[in-house]
Amino acid sequence: MSRTTYKIIGGIDRKRAEDILDGIGTLKVAIVGDIALDVYWRADMTKSELSRETPHFPLPVIQEWMSPGGAGNVAANVAALNPSKVCMIGIIGDDWRGDVLFKELKKRSIDAAGVIKCADRFTNAYCKPLRRGISDVEYEDPRIDFENFSPLAEADEKRLTNEIERIAADSDMLCVIDQMRFGCITPAIRDKIMQLSSQGVKIIVDSRDRIGLYKNVILKPNDVEAYRAMDSDKDPKGAGIDELAGIASALSKRNHSPVCMTLGPRGCVYVEGGEAYYIPSPEIEPPIDTCGAGDTFLSAFSCALALGAEGYEAAAVANIASSITVKKIGMTGTATIKEIKSRVGLNT
């Protein structure tokens, strides 16, 4: 891949950041995609006793908590920025996990009217057993996943299409989270999303394996996803910013789309109209926890773009938001307007 020239954006002017952050309260943002329930079980192994029936020590759960995961975590991150309305669109099953997920969304002031309940689908869930012993060291056992392994039924696909059209028409930004192999973003739904973009709906897409299939929308891959979309099996970790900008530029040109490619602790590259920008992340002292940082970035970036910010301005705000989340150790955190303002030195 050829190297590309780029401009370095060191940050964002405080007054400009304040204008963007203050404007988020006027927005209506919709999120469509693979919603899940994150389930955490903390076990205290000092309380475990050998089972009488089996040769195993059970996990004595002393604490349980749950939160929206997948596309639901993006919705939670958007809600933390306090726009005027956040709408969730997706598919859940008719099961206890779906019931809990509804409650967790409403608890965060997320409108779940666009979430469709299907009797023949699982509610996606990631169940994470955490165990402690005598020391303070905590280990996470292998996850217990609930995931669908069959395509979405045509009737449910049609219901979902109707919800997307209804809610997108009244939204300032539609965020698409396309992650699962047999998730709710089917080829027909993907075509509908690109059609809505051609009709003037602002749309940003985050997809683990299919980012290269979307055209004429805003793309937000990480570096690995972008390389794969360009049929490169190279490890981007050792690549320089000029090479990374080249990958993002090639994807942008091929798919007729602005591209914001995140680079983990290095920040991100933004490409639009043939112009490439590198926006470094703020320096953060360890310890850090990157869990959920990408969802925080996407949420802040999407809201700033919806307000008309330039792509590199939106990326600078998103970098700041992510720098807050990574300091929330042991949790899938969010960043609030107050926290972001404090980080950029604004009075709150």
Query: How far, in Å, CA of 128 to CA of 41, rounded?
Result: 6
Residue 3 reports pLDDT greater than 70 = no
pLDDT of residue 241: 96
Confidence of residue 287 (pLDDT cuts 50, 70, 90): confident
Task: Starting at the earlier edge strand, list the strands of the sheet with 7-8.
Answer: 7-8, 275-279, 268-272, 259-262, 218-219, 203-207, 173-178, 28-33, 85-93, 111-118
Residue 38 reports pLDDT greater than 80 = yes
Output the pTM of the full model.
0.94
DSSP string, 284-316: -PSP---TTHHHHHHHHHHHHHHTT--HHHHHH
pLDDT of residue 4: 86
Instruction: Give the phi and the psi of residue 271 in degrees, each rounded to 5.
Output: -130, 130
With CA atoms as reference, report the closest residue to 257 among 306, 305, 203.
Answer: 203
The percent of residues in the chain predicted with pLDDT above 90, rounded, is: 90
Confidence of residue 306 (pLDDT cuts 50, 70, 90): very high
Query: How far, in Å, CA of 346 to CA of 327, rounded?
Result: 19
Q: CB of 133 within 8 A of CB of 45?
A: yes
Distance (Å) of CA 224 to CA 33, 237, 240:
21, 9, 14
C-alpha neighbours within 13 Å on the C-beta side of residue 348: 12
Structural domains of the chain, with CATH: 7-50+57-343 (3.40.1190.20)
pLDDT of residue 178: 98
**Beta bridge pairs of residue 278:** 8, 269
Average pLDDT of span 259-263: 97
Length of the chain: 348
Q: What is the pLDDT of residues 186-226, one digit of tens each?
A: 999 999 999 999 999 999 999 999 999 999 999 999 999 99
| Ordered alpha helix ranges (H), 111-202 | 154-168, 187-198
Q: CB of 37 within 8 A of CB of 100?
A: yes
Q: What is the pLDDT of residues 54-108, one digit of tens each?
A: 999 999 999 999 999 999 999 999 999 999 999 999 999 999 999 999 999 999 9
Query: How far, in Å, CA of 99 to CA of 266, rounded?
Result: 39
Residue 257 reports pLDDT greater than 80 = yes
pLDDT of residue 348: 57
